[in-house]
Amino acid sequence: MKPFLRILCISVLFSHSLTLFSDDLRIGIIGLDTSHVIAFTEILNDKSRSNHIPGAKVVAAFKGGSPDVESSYTRIDGFTKKLREDFGVKIVDSIEELCEQVDAVLLESVDGRPHLDQVRPVFKAGKPVFIDKPMAGSLKDALAIDRLAKKHNASWFTSSSYRFYESMIELKKQDVGELQVAISYGPCSLEPHHPDLFWYGVHTVEALFTVMGTGCETVVRTFTENTDIVTGVWNDGRVGTFHGLRNSKAGHGVILFGSKGSARQSGGGSYVPLVREIVEFFKTGKPPVAPEESVEMFAFMEAADESKRQGGRPVRIQDVIRNNEPTD
């Protein structure tokens, strides 16, 4: 082959491989009962958007749904219709069928209780999966998901969008010296089928762990009709406090106190940074949030419930983990 033809062929093949790479990441969604399925699909599939993230596309979905959760059964049909009609997403009859047609999975069911059963066939199929909040409907199921992932050598992560908000990234850049105290506040509506903080407080807990990291040892909770205050003591003496607000329009945010001063989160953010992290994770298999941190977060929330049951007494994180270890 002549040199110029060789170069031309290589160029064509290289261009073709880039096209395949950009189009080849096929995303499937499990659970169409949360607004996230529309928001994420718009970011991934609509190339006309200024915040479009290339390299992945939602192509198939499994409807799912929970008949005893109002925010599920009142919204699922509308979201399903929009995905099908506005984005051409194929609605399939089973998770197994979904896994055959996609490269990676967004587990979006708004109800955390079915997540363990829904993720089983995904792990078995070897597909990387993002598990939206709440990761599970109980600490026992969260621990079971982590154990099952290890068994199948599966790639997964879970996160609130709060962790990757632009304002959170800016806050973490602030030099407050040695961090001593963090306060995270935000909405904390309750849902009767989930532990108190799992439903919406999970976002504010995520923000707390974003700045504090792992290492929480004990948890104490104060509960009233409109407010939750959960204080955790970390193994290095730092203190992290969660303020859950009901019937309040105070918004959400994080305040840091350190040896040099303090800093406050200013503003909010969007879903875009989280979706960008998800796509990168699907490509590399490297989760941006360690499973150990996510498990500790859910143990923190379960310990808060246990502290409430015990009248506000301190509860050890390791005790609730041990008491909720799956038996199978």
What is the pLDDT, as a whole number, of residue 7?
43
One of 3.30.360.10, 3.40.50.300, 3.40.50.720, 3.40.50.1980 is the CATH number of 162-323, namely: 3.30.360.10
Question: Which residue is associated with the tokens 């999970």?
Answer: 202
Q: How many helices (H) and strands (E) in the chain?
A: 12, 13
Residue 187 token pair:
């909405």
What is the pLDDT, as a whole number, of residue 8?
42
Ordered by start, the domain boundaries in the chain are: 3-132, 162-323
What is the pLDDT, as a whole number, of residue 12?
39
Domain 3-132 has CATH 3.40.640.10: no
Strands (E), the chain: 26-30, 57-62, 90-92, 104-107, 129-131, 156-158, 179-187, 216-223, 227-234, 239-245, 253-258, 262-264, 315-316
What is the pLDDT, as a whole number, of residue 9?
43
Task: For the full predicted model, state whether its pTM sits above 0.85.
Answer: yes
Question: Which strand (E) or helix (H) includes residue 277?
Answer: helix 272-284
DSSP summary character for residue 87: H
**Contact (Cβ atoms closer than 8 angstroms) between residue 208 and residue 252:** no
Cis amide leading into 326 (omega within 30): no
What is the pLDDT, as a whole number, of residue 13?
38
What is the secondary structure of 91-139 as a DSSP string? EES-HHHHHHH-SEEEE--S-STTHHHHHHHHHHHT--EEEPSSS-SSH
> Along the 328 residues of the chain, how does pLDDT read in single tens digits?
554 444 444 343 333 333 334 457 999 999 999 999 999 999 999 999 999 999 999 999 999 999 999 999 999 999 999 999 999 999 999 999 999 999 999 999 999 999 999 999 999 999 999 999 999 999 999 999 999 999 999 999 999 999 999 999 999 999 999 999 999 999 999 999 999 999 999 999 999 999 999 999 999 999 999 999 999 999 999 999 999 999 999 999 999 999 999 999 999 999 999 999 999 999 999 999 999 999 999 999 999 999 999 999 999 999 999 999 988 7
What is the pLDDT, as a whole number, of residue 23?
58
**Contact (Cβ atoms closer than 8 angstroms) between residue 29 and residue 105:** yes
